[in-house]
Structure 1
Amino acid sequence: MKFYVIGDVTVDHLYHLDHLPTPGAEIAPRRSTMQPGGAGGTISVTLARLGHTVTLAARVGEDPFAQVALAQVRESGVSESAIQTDPDHLTSTITVMQTPDGERAMISDGAANRQLDPAKLKKKDVESADALIISGYSLTEGPQRDYALKAIEIAKAAKKPVPVFIDLGTGAVNKVGTKLLQDVIGADYLTLNQHELLALTGSNSLSNALTQLGEAGVQQVAVKVGKMGSVVWTPDDTELVDSIRPEKPVIDSTGAGDTFTAAFAHAILQGQTLAQAARAANAAGALASTAVGAQSQEITTQDLEKVLKQ
């Protein structure tokens, strides 16, 4: 299958801490590392490792961090034909501070990614794809938002409409809030976590939030609910899909949600039902959490099959 992905590539600075620092405090991490990340990069790398042809639309700066941000993109064979270079903005970075119990704080700089130039979007690249995947961060602001909305319009108007997957992110929803809902209505499949769902709709319960999505026009949703797994929803049905535990211990959840989305889209295009796709996505997200870094754990179709048989 052929995917066109719009989203960020970043350099992730990861700090594993006993506890998050209080204002003015200085603490030493248990472990620290620098890894390639970003929702667009992680989704693309995961899909490529699952055997798909992937084109990634993102933007980096003319700086050394660009090489780090694109390291796994290049190694996994993702096409860089839609990667842009920005002469004025730095490559995006994210600082992640995470504790053993899963508490996390982040400092994120959209930088070059937000300047993705919509004038360089090639209509044929979207029309020829089997699916378009858009990270919610691409819909927050700047030229990148125009690029993403233009791609959705092309996908919907194609002679053979291209299914659109939109994956939200906590930072994106926190920044834009309920206004983001108008941009995700065009998604054929929407993936997001519980916090993002409530913030997107301004609701205080999952059931009410999902009802609001349906009233707005969204028809197929997968909600990530952490250790419980995920919930798949259509206007006619709601189903809890249990989580899957990998054999290795979970040590870093960075990028697990993006890996979930990639595996979900992979399974949908393989003809699986929403629940089956969510189960595969649960497994992929769990596997991704067994290594440090969003893209460190390589996941193949054989890996998924092995975990799903457990």
Structure 2
Amino acid sequence: MKFYVIGDVTVDHLYHLEHLPTPGADISPRRSTMQPGGAGGTISVTLARLGHSVTLAARVGDDPFAEYALAQVRESGVSESAIQRDADHLTSTITVMQTPGGERAMISDGAANRQLDPAKLKKKDIEGADALIISAYSLTEGPQRDYSLKAIETAKAAKKPVPVFIDLGSGAVNKVGTKLVQDVVGADYLTLNQNELLALTGTHSLSTALTQLGKAGVNNVAVKVGKRGSVVWTPEETELVDAVPPEKPVLDSTGAGDTFTAAFAHAILSGQSLAQAARAANAAGALAATAVGAQSQEITTADLDRALSK
């Protein structure tokens, strides 16, 4: 299958702490590392490792971090034909602080990614894809937003319409709020976590939020609900899909949600039902969390099959 992915590539600075710092505090991490990351990069790398042909649309600076941010993208065979270079903005970076109890704080700089030039979008690349996947961070602001909306329009208008997957992120919802709904209604499939769903719709219950999305025009939703797994929803049915715990201990949740989205799209395009796709995504997201860094844990179809057979 051919996937066209629009999303950030970043350099992630990861700090594992006993507790999040208070203002003015000076604390030492239990562990720290630097890894390639970003939703677009992680989704692309995961899909490529699952055997797909992937083109990633992102923008990096003309700086040393650019090559590091793209290291796994390049190694996994993702096409860089839609990667843009920016002489005026730095490659995006994210600082992630997380505790053993699951608390997390992030400092994110969209930088070069937000400058993705829509004039360089090639319609034939979208029309020739089997699916378009967009990280909602790409819909927040700047030229990157215009690029993403243009891509959705192209996918919908293609002679053979290209299915659109949109994955939300807390940062995107926090920045845009409920106005983001008007953009995500263009998705054939929407993936997000429980907190993002409630913030997106301005509601306080999953059922109310999902009903509201349905009225807006979204028909297929997968909601990540942590250790419980995920909930899949259509206007006709709702189903809780159990988690698939990994055999190895969880070390780092960075990028697990992006891996979930990639595996979900992989399974849908492989002909699986919404619930089957969600279970595969649950397994992939859990596997991703057994290594430090968003793209460190390689996940193949054999790995997924093995996890799902238990």
- Determine if the TM-score, normalized by the shorter chain, exceeds 0.5: yes
Aligned residue identity for 2:129? A
Query: How many residue pairs align between the two structures?
Result: 310
Q: Does 1:279 align with 2:274?
A: no
**Partner of 1:240 in structure 2?**
240
Aligned letter for 2:179?
K
- SS, match of residue 22 in structure 1: coil
How many Å separate the matches in 2 of 1:185 and 1:16?
36
2:226 maps to which residue? 226
Deviation at 1:294, TM superposition (A): 0.1
Give the Cα separation in 2 of the matches to 1:136 and 1:188. Answer: 14
- Segments of 5+ residues of structure 2 without an aligned counterpart are none
The correspondence of residues 203-222 of structure 1 with structure 2, limited to 5 A, is 203-222=203-222
Aligned counterparts of 1:303 and 1:198: Cα–Cα separation in 2: 33
Match of 2:79 in 1: 79
Aligned ranges 1:93-132 → 2 under 5 Å: 93-132=93-132
SS state of the match for residue 264, structure 2?
helix
CA distance in 1, matches of 2:108, 2:299: 26
Please state how far the C-alpha of 1:180 moved relative to its aligned partner: 0.3
Deviation at 1:37, TM superposition (A): 0.2
Cα distance in 2 for residues equivalent to 1:115 and 1:59: 7
Give the superposition deviation at 1:185: 0.4
Ranges of 4+ aligned residues in structure 1 off by more than 6 Å? none
Give the Cα–Cα distance (whole angstroms) in 2 for the partners of residues 34 and 287 of structure 1.
Answer: 20
Normalising by structure 1, we get a TM-score of 1.00
Structure 2 counterpart of 1:253: 253
Offset of residue 154 of structure 1: 0.3
Q: Post-superposition shift, 1:35?
A: 0.2
**Whole-angstrom CA distance in 2 between matches of 1:101 and 1:295:** 22
- Report the AA paired with residue 248 of structure 1: K
Matched AA of 1:32: S
Other structure's SS at 1:56 match: strand
Percent of pairs with identical residues: 87
* Number of the residue aligned with 1:152: 152
Q: CA deviation at 1:305?
A: 0.3
Residue correspondence of structure 1 range 1-310 to structure 2 within 5 A: 1-310=1-310
Aligned-pair CA distance for 1:41: 0.1
CA distance in 2, matches of 1:192, 1:16: 24
Per the TM alignment, residue 174 of structure 1 is displaced from its structure 2 partner at its CA by 0.3
The CA distance in 2 between the partners of 1:5 and 1:134, in whole Å, is 6
Q: Name structure 1 gaps, 5 residues minimum.
A: none
